[in-house]
Amino acid sequence: MRIFSGIQPTGVLHLGNYFGAIKQWVDLQKGNECIYCIVDYHALTNEDMVPEEMRQARESLAMDLLACGIDPNKSILFVQSDVPEHTELCWILGCVTSFGDLTRMTQFKQKAKEQEFVNAGLFYYPVLQAADILLYLADHVPVGEDQLQHLELSRRIARRFNYRFGELFPEPQPILSKGARIMSLADPTRKMSKSYGPEHYIGLMEAEDSIYRKVRSAVTDMGLQPGQDMSPGVANLFLLLELVAPADLVEDFRVRHKAGKLLYKDLKETLFKYLVEFLSPIRERRRELEARGEIKEILAAGAAKARKIAREVIREARERVGLS
């Protein structure tokens, strides 16, 4: 399989990113051709992004990804704006994208509602995402659940292009993991996300006392909806525990919960302990990477490899539509 996925350099990598996407990125490196992209053009749609932060965040995220286990000898890791073919294909694909489809993107509608000035990049965001994937003729895309609608649109765009100009692009399929939807600990009805503020995410490199505070104050008492045996907050804590702790321990906690004998304080303390244990080797590797300082070279080499593929595909796409 050819795998492609992307992540925005927006400052911190959080548990939602890790369990929703990055863990799969790492696992998929075995036996597949993987291309992973730091999507700085997408991050530019964020009104709060300042130039200095952008410059710094891309390399910092790249080091985070390597610390998580992305291996530049196995995968291509690069920065989107180092490969200008992304924006060129974006324009071509925009011309086979339905305006109506773009107006129906829930992420766009949500973001547009939350801000006063809505830049056009935000509207065009999903076309650029389709271009990212199709530029490498990727057939599988490991993502969290929040990206499913964008991927569905990528498939529609591929189909429309193929129909008009002849078969070129595969229709990319999502790969979802168990952690495809990690919720905010402070408000478990919303996904874990940086955009809601610091209480709503746990960063992989965050200070332990801050993680402790967030886990201990996680909301658990929201009450049950019909058909639920756990409130959303408790279910989220169990999901996280499952992702970091041994299966028999989680099973024991489930039994205690069912019997009404589980103290949430115990659940939280245990989750904190396993989270810290789980994060510690990642943090250690991150420190080493920072000290080694080779990240610029790694990203430049990644961009050169990505560009080799991108050039071929863009050449073919230009020919198909009659631009060359």
Check residue 181 for interaction with ligand TYM (CB under 6 A): yes
Q: Determine which one of 191, 214, 258, 308 is catalytic.
A: 191
Check residue 7 for interaction with ligand TYM (CB under 6 A): yes
Single out the residue of 58, 111, 191, 214 in contact with ligand TYM (rule: CB under 6 A).
191
Under 8 Å between Cβ of 157 and 97: yes
Q: Determine which one of 30, 74, 109, 111 is catalytic.
A: 111
- Write the CB contacts of 109 (distance below 8 Å, at least 6 apart in sequence): none
The tokens for 68 are: 């998580």
Check residue 16 for interaction with ligand TYM (CB under 6 A): yes
Active site residue 194: yes
Single out the residue of 42, 58, 111, 214 in contact with ligand TYM (rule: CB under 6 A).
42
Active site residue 23: no
Single out the residue of 3, 8, 134, 203 in contact with ligand TYM (rule: CB under 6 A).
8
At residue 33, what are phi and psi to the nearest 5 degrees?
-95, 115
Single out the residue of 89, 93, 182, 211 in contact with ligand TYM (rule: CB under 6 A).
182
Quick one: 77 or 192, whose CB is closer to ligand TYM?
Answer: 192
| Residues 124 to 153 in contact with ligand TYM, rule: CB under 6 A | 129, 132-133, 141, 143-144, 146-147, 150
Q: How far is the CB of 248 from ligand TYM (least distance, A)?
A: 25
- Which span (16-24, 55-63, 215-223, 301-309) binds ligand TYM, by CB under 6 A? 16-24
User: Residue 163 region, left (φ>0) first, then alpha (ψ -120 to 50), else beta?
Assistant: alpha
CA–chain centroid gap for 189, Å, is 19
Number of residues that bind ligand TYM (CB under 6 A): 27
Single out the residue of 3, 20, 59, 214 in contact with ligand TYM (rule: CB under 6 A).
20
Check residue 21 for interaction with ligand TYM (CB under 6 A): yes
Quick one: 127 or 267, whose CB is closer to ligand TYM?
Answer: 127
| Residues 216 to 275 in contact with ligand TYM, rule: CB under 6 A | none
- Which span (158-166, 188-196, 223-231, 276-284) binds ligand TYM, by CB under 6 A? 188-196
Greatest distance between any 2 Cα atoms in the chain: 70
Binding positions for ligand TYM, rule: CB under 6 A = 4-8, 16-17, 20-21, 39, 42, 129, 132-133, 141, 143-144, 146-147, 150, 179-182, 191-193
Q: Which residues are catalytic?
A: 111, 191, 194
